[in-house]
Each structure stands twice: as structure tokens, then as C-alpha cells.
Amino acid sequence: MMDFIAHKREDGMVQSVKEHLAGTAELAANFASDFGAEEQGRLIGFAHDIGKYSKEFQKRICDDGPKVDHSSAGALLCTQKNNIIASFCIAGHHSGLPDYGGEDDDSEATLCARMKRALNKKIPDFSAWKEEIGELPNAGIMFPNDDTNMENVFFTRMLFSCLVDADYLDTERFMSNDSVDRGSGNDMEFLEKKLDTYISGWFPPEGELNRKRCEILNSCIEKHTCEPGLFSLTVPTGGGKTVSSLAFAIKHARAKGLKRIIYVIPYTSIIEQTAEIFRKILGNDNVLEHHSNIGYDLEENISQENVKMSLAAENWDMPVIVTTSVQFFESLFANKSSKCRKLHNIAKSVIIFDEAQMIPVSYLKPCIYTISQLVKNYNVSAVLCTATQPSLDNIFEEFIGDYHPTELCPKELYEDPIFIRTRFKNIGVMTKDEVADYMMNKNQILCIVNSRKSASDLFTRLCEDGRFHLSTLMTPTDRKKTLYEIRKRLKDGRTCRVVATSLIEAGVDVDFPVVMREEAGLDSMLQAAGRCNREGHREKSESEVIIYKSEDKPPNMFALNISAGRIAIEGENDIVSSKCIKKYFDTLYKLKGEETLDSKKIMQLIRSDYCFKKIADRFKMIDNDTETVYIPVGDGKELVERRKYGELSKSLLRKLGQYGVNIYKDHLKKMYETGDVEKVGDSEWVLSNIALYNEKMGLSFNAEVGKAYFV
């Protein structure tokens, strides 16, 4: 009998197919055991590379022969065992989860087409597998009564993740001769000790505000023994929700045997400051920051720490993960192996959804579906964390049944008057000149507007001394520099007048004595108030949040939010109450309509069939109507030149991202026609007319509303 080889190293050592199948099977079974699918994991591990028992594949690996389809074989065996889910996982473990297709489908991309080819013996003969393996493990169906398809579709993704990660890890283990030290951080007991040491300095608290913050912290800690499930943490701005939520997560994870904590945040600006806090508390080796602005590529830095972080980013094998909403949710709807590899490590986790109200309304139902599945079937505790809790009970009930979250912060604490550190004042319609005059009469003031164009127009009306502008028309590098200078001036008591778009509202740590907010949704206005008297050092009567209506028509994307806000606060004396906030979100969802909560009809696809590729193509939380233009300023000049001369690497693209501005395609087209931008590569752009960029104002053109989601 010939030796069947799965992998071959440069030093001539080989790994047999049998060894690889057994190793992958044990890893996949171990991963899947976190959600009760050990048998299914073992089956797909043993079956995934059975196609390598063909003479054609052996010629491929030994003599560099042509490529061979070696994944359809195992998928066929599982199809014959009536295990369609295993078939999907095996068929897609290299190319990605396919759509199911139909019996008459001749497309190479669907599972049906591939199985038809396999049944017609249009794949290499792999029958030699029986001599070494004998029989495949048995595995039952996890959700046999799933008439809606919602359980089985999600389960397929999670099982697929187990196979992909197991396959990668077993191959890596052989190819590196067991020399790769991935490192997965410390256990929850160690993290709990680090946390306890950190918060010990908070007690006894000094001052009434700190006393209330500690009461919120203690409330979270007291509830850590609750059974895993759905939680909410409604904490007013300045209430210490970052550390309180972390404390609950660590103590809850240790008490209930959960493996990791995943912190999901909408903005990269909040991620960076949150990850820094967590590293300070828990140590660098326990916190993985994973988003588009950071990477651990080994082209320039091959230190042991960077190697471990790079490996951990592949499958989230760290105790604390800090990532973006886009990264998290798009991974759960992806079909590609690389994006799905980490999914199984979400099981047995505590997931904190920071600023939960920021989940885009047009993707609300699909996102709540994923949270519901994780809580219901994958031993996950999910915490919806915000000062303005969205009204989601009806949507959760659609997917889970009569299921309500456990609130970690008592209402009497959340609505304690001490957290109301500002007073709202509605002053009606104001022209831009009137807004500018109002700002010029204040030494320190922040004004938040609804569009990038409004921000630019208002900024130019202010005297140059002490004026600042923040919008997504600026590069991330220039926004960081500007925020640093703003914080310094605020601390020193110097003149500081800031005009910003909504990017400053959620979680950006600044403290102004006065904030102006162009009328928006109630959640935005309350978030804006969180930038006023944030630390409570001033009297409430001296800390005004001025709400005004612009003379211009509001951008379309804000119109319904504004209408819902007006309806919610009508006749209400306390617009920050949970009652008023619930009324706002209920009204907003009603105005937008049921279909808007799933505008891409993702749930329809899930219920109708196994449409993994179609769903992945549809689920894009970032607006695809924008393109990134790189700005050759500062260190960005050299980076742009390197890209122009053909250099292409993850490291370079990540650094270039710090000098990029996202603009709409119609604006880009106009700039291209006038020669203001030039094309680099297939879909990359560089600003050629550098006079259009100013480090204080950003890119100057007639820009509309800017979005602030990042991957």
C-alpha cells in the first residue's frame, strides 16, 4: 500500500493524510465541544481531506502536479450520510461556504453542482481512504426540528469555523515542527486578581460622584453569579461603564467557566482608548486589539510579542478581544475561511456591546438574530451597554421567545440626579452666523452638527485663535493631533472652540462647559450632553446643552431620527429618563418601518435556504458608496510614494489608512475629472491637488454627511 501524504516540509519530512485527519478531527471536536457539537466536529475533521487519498493529489504534492479538487470527496460522503451541514463545511474549507443552489444547477460555485460532479465521478478516485480510515465517525443532527432554518444556518457557520481553525492549526503544527508558541494569555483567575488590584484604589470613594460610580461597579460585581444569558448595562455618561462592564465580564466568566471577553465597539477612536485602559488593568499579553487601524504584520517587527499577537488575531485566541461592530458582525455573516476562522472562539464568551444603540437600524434584525443565537445555543453572555438603551425586546422575542435582559445597573442608580450634570435649553432656529456669534462669546464650547459641510462652514466663521474642527474629512492622524490639542487646552483653561460632526459623541473623552447640538435624534442629543461637564466639576446651572435647529434642511439620513426625537420629548419633563428613551426608539423603529430593520432582506435569505455567499455579499455594514483617498501629507508622503512605486503589503496599507479620507463616489468622480485625484492600483486613489487638503479642516469640497463606522 502506498503512503498517502497530506503535507510536505522543506526539510523533506512528511505528514500522512491519516495523521492530518486524526489531528484535525481532535482539534475540531475539542472546539465544537464548547457548544455541544463534539461528534459533528470529529466527523468533519476526519472527512475534510479524504480527497487526498487520490493518485492525482499525491502527484500534486510529490511532483508538483496540477491542482486537484480534494474537498468535494469528503462533502460527498457526508451528503450520502444525509449530513448536509457537514457537507457545506467540508466543501468550503478552502474556498468558503457556498450557496446550496439547486438540483439543476451547473454552477461550479454551489454545493449542489459540486455534489452532482462528484456523483458523476468527475473528481479523482479517493476510495483508498477506506483501507486506512475504515468508517467515518457518526454524528447526529443538532437541530432536527428547525423549521425556520435559523438554527441550522448559524450552526453551519460555527461548525465551519471549528474545521477551518483546526485544519490551519494542525497544518501549522506540522509545518513548524511544533515550534510555534501561540500563547493565549492568562486565565480568568489571574485577570480577576489584576482587576481587583486595580479597583481597590477606588475604595473608599472620594466625593458623591465617585461614590455613585462605585455603587454601579458593585452592582455589576454582585450580579456576576447570574446564569449566562442576555444582560443590559444602562449607565449614564460618566458613570464608569467601561471598568464596571469589564468587572462583570471577568467575574462572570470565572464563575460560569466562560473562556474569554469580547468587547464590541462602533468607533476605532473609542477602541483605542478602551484597549489602552484594559492593557493598563490586565497587562499587554491579555488584550488583543483587532480592527483595520492596527495589525501585527511581521514584515517589520518579528518580536516574540508581535508574533503572538499576529497569531492570536487569526482566531481570537486571547482572553480579552477589543474589536469593532463591523469586524464582529461581518465575520458572523461572512463565508470566507479567513474571516470565519475565529467564530468558534466566540462560544463560551462574555460579549460587551458598547454603545449598543449604534447598531445600524438597517441591519438591526440580522444583528439581533446573531446575538440571540449566541445566547441561546452557544453558551454566550451578551451585555448591551449604553447610556441610551435601545428598545429591542420585541426583536429579541422574535428570535428567542419571551426573553428579557437582566439589567446590571438598578434604575435608581442610573437615574440618580447626580449624573444629570447639565441642563438642556432649546433655542429654536439659528443661522450659522448666529451660531458662530454664540460660540465666540464663550471661551470653551463644543458645537456638534449633522454634516461635514456644516462643520466646515461654521468653522470658517470663527476667529482663528483657539478654533478647532473635527470631521471624517480629516485624516485619522490629524484628528488625533487635534483631539490631543483640544484636551490640553481644556485642561489648561485656554480658549477652545470646537466644531465637530457626530464622530465626537460616542465615547470620546472631552469635557466642555457648554455644548451646542444641531437638532438630531434624542440618542445623539443625549450623547452630545455627555461631552458637557463630564466630570461634574461645575454646577449644573452653569453647564448648558444648547439644542438649536439649523436654517438648512436636515440631511435625509437624520430626518426620521429628528421626527422621532420631537415626538418622544413632547410633553416630557425629563428627556433623559429611560421612559423617554424607550419612547424615542419605539417611535424611530415605527417611523422607519419593519422592512427598514432588515433592509437587505438577510433574514429572508436565512429562512429560505442555505445562501452563505449571497448573504456575505449583502451584509456590508460600511457604505459601499465611499472610496478612500490617500492624502500625501506628513509621514503620509513617503507612504504614498511607496504605494505609487508598486509596494503592496498589509503593513503599508494599514499605515496608509491613517492618511486616508473616505468620500462618496460621485464626489470622487468629479475630483478625478478635474485632475484633483489620481488612481493607484485597481481601486486606490491619491490626492494630487494637495491644495485641497488642510490639516485643520481636512479635504475641502462640497461634502455631505460623513459616516464614522470602521472595520
Between CA 114 and CA 91 the distance in angstroms is 8
Per the DSSP assignment, residues forming a β-bridge with 290 are 323
* Residue 286 near residue 186 (C-beta atoms within 8 A): yes
Mean pLDDT along residues 647-676: 86
343-352, 623-632, 659-668: segment of lowest average pLDDT = 623-632
- For residue 640, pLDDT over 50 is answered with yes
What pLDDT shows up at residue 602?
A: 96
193-197, 249-253, 413-417: segment of lowest average pLDDT = 413-417
The pLDDT-based confidence of 313 (bands split at 50, 70, 90) is: low
DSSP per position, 616-681: HHH---S-TTEEEEE---TTHHHHHHHHHTT---HHHHHHHHTTEEEEEHHHHHHHHHTTSEEEET
What pLDDT shows up at residue 709?
A: 32
DSSP per position, 561-590: HHHHHHHHHTT-S-TTSHHHHHHHHHHHHH
- For residue 296, pLDDT over 50 is answered with no
Computed over every residue of the chain, the mean pLDDT equals 89
Number of neighbouring beta carbons within 10 Å of residue 50: 28
pLDDT in tens, 489-545: 999 999 999 999 988 886 678 999 999 999 999 999 998 998 999 878 888 888 999
Q: What are phi and psi of 425, to 5 degrees?
A: -140, 115
* Domains of the chain with CATH codes: 5-175 (1.10.3210), 188-414 (3.40.50.300), 421-575 (3.40.50.300), 626-699 (no CATH)
Between CA 499 and CA 550 the distance in angstroms is 14
The residue whose grid cell reads 502527484 is 59
pLDDT in tens, 132-172: 888 999 998 899 889 899 999 999 999 999 999 999 999 99
- For residue 311, pLDDT over 70 is answered with no
Measuring CA to CA, how many Å separate 562 from each of 353, 387, 555, 593, 595?
25, 19, 10, 15, 20
Mean pLDDT along residues 111-138: 91
The sign of the torsion formed by the CA atoms of 167, 170, 174, 178 equals: positive
What pLDDT shows up at residue 703?
A: 40
Mean pLDDT along residues 54-79: 93
pLDDT in tens, 402-446: 778 999 999 899 888 888 889 999 999 999 999 999 999 999 999
Mean pLDDT along residues 238-267: 94
What pLDDT shows up at residue 415?
A: 86
Q: Tell me if residue 429 falls in helix, strand or coil.
A: strand
What pLDDT shows up at residue 580?
A: 92
* Cell numbers given for 680: 493607484
- The count of C-alpha atoms lying within 13 angstroms of the C-alpha of 51, restricted to the half-sphere facing its C-beta, is 25
What pLDDT shows up at residue 309?
A: 56
**DSSP, res 405:** P
What pLDDT shows up at residue 504?
A: 87
Mean pLDDT along residues 233-250: 93
* Cell numbers given for 340: 470565519
Mean pLDDT along residues 457-467: 95
Mean pLDDT along residues 117-129: 91
H or E element in which residue 152 lies: helix 150-175
pLDDT above 90 as % of the chain: 67
- pTM (2 d.p.): 0.88
The pLDDT-based confidence of 392 (bands split at 50, 70, 90) is: very high
What pLDDT shows up at residue 137?
A: 92
The sign of the torsion formed by the CA atoms of 543, 549, 551, 553 equals: positive
pLDDT in tens, 544-595: 999 999 988 888 888 999 999 999 998 777 888 888 999 999 999 999 988 8
Between CA 619 and CA 281 the distance in angstroms is 35
Greatest CA separation for the chain = 90
- For residue 192, pLDDT over 80 is answered with yes
Between CA 108 and CA 435 the distance in angstroms is 61
The pLDDT-based confidence of 1 (bands split at 50, 70, 90) is: very low
pLDDT in tens, 328-382: 999 999 999 999 999 999 999 999 999 999 899 999 999 999 999 999 999 999 9
Which letter, b or e, does each residue of 277-292 get, where b requires 16 or more Cβ atoms within 10 Å of its Cβ?
ebbebbeebbbbbbbe
* Cell numbers given for 546: 444648547
- The count of C-alpha atoms lying within 13 angstroms of the C-alpha of 502, restricted to the half-sphere facing its C-beta, is 22
- For residue 451, pLDDT over 50 is answered with yes
DSSP per position, 325-379: HHHHHHHHT--SHHHHTTGGGGTTEEEEEETGGGS-GGGHHHHHHHHHHHHHHS-
| C-alpha 203 chain-centroid distance | 34
End-to-end CA distance of the chain: 51
